[in-house]
């Protein structure tokens, strides 16, 4: 266990599946070779198999590059723009198979479950859980102990590629010492680490460790247009994450039965339309079966739903609810204390404290 632990809370009662987190991450973090189909964060539609395909059922398997991830997609823009109109149309082909893709990161968008008129779905962004008892680290350590891995060029003194940072609990991969053994991907029940075959390493979300070091919030969370993401230290009692996770206990780990101690927490979708009986007669039952939510979020689900609904009823009666205010987030930056949600203006030299000026952009201003 690290000295401190950073956590992210994602409010699924707000997540609209827009993938702004996904794309912000891609724009900021996935610009090096081999990242075309890599994701550090992505948003799944639930219920569904997810990405990699059927990850909850994969056990200790390393997901298959084509079958489970969907392979690398190529498109034929050039051919379309230089052929007679109508002759060639733009479509994806999987590089590995030469065939149209059969799966991908966001394949099941808005499909969901149930039967008309009682169909339903909700969205669930997924990223590394930065687990307290991360099985990926244990297996990596073991691998190195058995003579695996490569010498690190990072000079960080770690004996294995994966480690959990003492100061904030972020789980990071040191790519220079990763030998792509794949054991982390096999051990991770959430199937988060992904292989970059070009760079020759496994990769995954590091909570934007470089931004965090400079006091800036992770780019996915700070950019959430539905305002459903939070970030902060769990031991900071005033932080929104601590209140939601520890005080009100409405933010729950995903699949707690995996026993890895995830530090990404989800507020379950608790405001839902009801399902219908014959003739479209409305019932009192929410459309999502509670068993499904219980499967995802474990035994804490029932009390969390009661708390959330009770506080909403309070607010509807005109009474104050701190919990509802935490979900509203009147001031966006409050959800990230002590981190900065502003976009940095000045470049930061490595090893130099945040806020130091430099370069032409130093003339810029934060308003």
Binders of another protein in range 69-108 (CB under 8 A): 73, 75, 77-78, 80-87, 89-93, 100-102, 104-107
For residues 59 and 353, which CB has a smaller minimum distance to another protein in the complex?
A: 353
Angle in degrees, CA 218, 223, 225, rounded to 5: 150
CB of 353 to another protein, least distance (A): 12
Total chain residues near another protein (CB under 8 A): 127
For residues 112 and 256, which CB has a smaller minimum distance to another protein in the complex?
A: 112
SS (H, E, C) 106-173: CCCCCCCECCCCCCECEEEEEECCCCCCCHHHHHHHHHHHCCCCCCCCCCCCCCCCEEECCCCCCEEE
Residues numbered 269 to 298 that lie near another protein (CB under 8 A) are 269, 271-274, 276, 279-282
56 forms part of the interface with another protein (CB under 8 A): no
The alpha helices in 188-231, defined as continuous H runs, are: 209-213, 219-222
For residues 73 and 236, which CB has a smaller minimum distance to another protein in the complex?
A: 73
DSSP-derived secondary structure letter, 340: B
Stretch that binds another protein, among 24-32, 231-239, 253-261, 299-307 (CB under 8 A): 24-32
| Phi, psi (rounded to 5 degrees) for 250 | -105, -10
CB of 137 to another protein, least distance (A): 17
Stretch that binds another protein, among 15-23, 60-68, 130-138, 245-253 (CB under 8 A): 15-23
SS3 label, residue 203? strand
CB of 258 to another protein, least distance (A): 25
For residues 187 and 195, which CB has a smaller minimum distance to another protein in the complex?
A: 195
57 forms part of the interface with another protein (CB under 8 A): no
For residues 200 and 300, which CB has a smaller minimum distance to another protein in the complex?
A: 200
Point out which residues pair with 357 in neighbouring strands.
none
Instruction: Identify whether the C-beta of residue 169 lies closer than 8 Å to the C-beta of residue 6.
Output: yes
Residues numbered 120 to 149 that lie near another protein (CB under 8 A) are 120-122
Q: What is the largest CA-CA distance in the chain?
A: 68
Residues numbered 166 to 185 that lie near another protein (CB under 8 A) are 173-176, 179-180
13 forms part of the interface with another protein (CB under 8 A): yes
For residues 64 and 109, which CB has a smaller minimum distance to another protein in the complex?
A: 109
CA atoms of 21 and 41, how far apart (whole Å): 7
For residues 170 and 258, which CB has a smaller minimum distance to another protein in the complex?
A: 170
Instruction: Identify whether the C-beta of residue 231 lies closer than 8 Å to the C-beta of residue 339.
Output: yes
18 forms part of the interface with another protein (CB under 8 A): yes
For residues 101 and 262, which CB has a smaller minimum distance to another protein in the complex?
A: 101
Residues numbered 194 to 253 that lie near another protein (CB under 8 A) are 196-201, 203, 209-211, 214, 219, 222-228
Shortest CA distance to 247 belongs to which of 265, 259, 270, 229?
Answer: 265
Residues numbered 309 to 338 that lie near another protein (CB under 8 A) are 312-313, 315-318, 324-325, 327-333
CB of 35 to another protein, least distance (A): 8
Task: Report residue 281 as tokens.
Answer: 């007669």
Of these, 5, 26, 263, 337, which contacts another protein (CB under 8 A)? 26
Give every CB contact of residue 339 below 8 A, 6+ residues apart in sequence.
212, 215, 216, 217, 222, 231, 232
Q: Characterise 255 by phi-psi region: left (phi > 0), alpha (psi -120 to 50), beta (else).
A: left
Stretch that binds another protein, among 56-64, 119-127, 182-190, 257-265 (CB under 8 A): 119-127
For residues 119 and 338, which CB has a smaller minimum distance to another protein in the complex?
A: 119
SS3 label, residue 267? strand
Point out which residues pair with 172 in neighbouring strands.
163
């Amino acid at each position: 266990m690290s000295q401190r632990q950073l956590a992210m809370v994602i409010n699924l009662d707000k997540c609209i599946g827009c993938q702004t987190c996904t794309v912000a991450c891609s724009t900021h973090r996935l610009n090096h070779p081999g990242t075309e189909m890599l994701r550090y964060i992505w948003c799944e539609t639930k219920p569904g198999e997810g990405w990699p395909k059927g990850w909850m059922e994969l056990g200790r398997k390393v997901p298959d590059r084509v079958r489970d991830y969907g392979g690398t997609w190529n498109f034929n823009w050039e051919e379309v723009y230089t052929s007679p109109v109508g002759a060639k149309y733009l479509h994806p082909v999987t590089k590995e198979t030469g065939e149209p893709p059969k799966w991908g990161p966001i394949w099941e968008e808005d499909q969901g479950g149930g039967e008309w008129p009682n169909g339903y779905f909700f969205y669930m962004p997924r990223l590394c859980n930065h687990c307290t008892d991360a099985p990926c680290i244990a297996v990596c350590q073991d691998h190195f102990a058995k003579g695996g891995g490569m010498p690190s060029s990072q000079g960080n003194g770690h004996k294995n590629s994966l480690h959990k940072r003492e100061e904030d609990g972020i789980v990071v991969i040191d790519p220079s010492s990763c030998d792509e053994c794949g054991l982390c991907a096999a051990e991770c029940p959430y199937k988060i680490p992904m292989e970059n075959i070009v760079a020759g390493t496994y990769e995954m979300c590091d909570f934007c460790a470089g931004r965090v070091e400079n006091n800036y919030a992770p780019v996915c969370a700070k950019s959430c247009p539905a305002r459903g993401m939070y970030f902060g230290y769990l031991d900071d009692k005033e932080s929104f994450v601590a209140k939601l996770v520890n005080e009100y206990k409405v933010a729950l780990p995903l699949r707690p039965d995996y026993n890895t101690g995830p530090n990404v927490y989800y507020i379950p979708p608790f405001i839902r339309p009801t399902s219908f009986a014959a003739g479209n007669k409305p019932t009192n039952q929410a459309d999502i079966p509670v068993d499904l939510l219980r499967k995802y979020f474990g035994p804490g689900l029932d009390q969390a739903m009661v708390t959330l609904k009770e506080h909403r009823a309070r607010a509807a009666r005109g009474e104050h609810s701190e919990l509802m205010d935490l979900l509203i987030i009147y001031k966006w930056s409050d959800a990230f204390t002590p981190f900065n949600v502003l976009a940095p203006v000045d470049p930061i030299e490595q090893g130099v404290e945040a806020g130091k000026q430099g370069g032409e952009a130093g003339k810029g201003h934060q308003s």
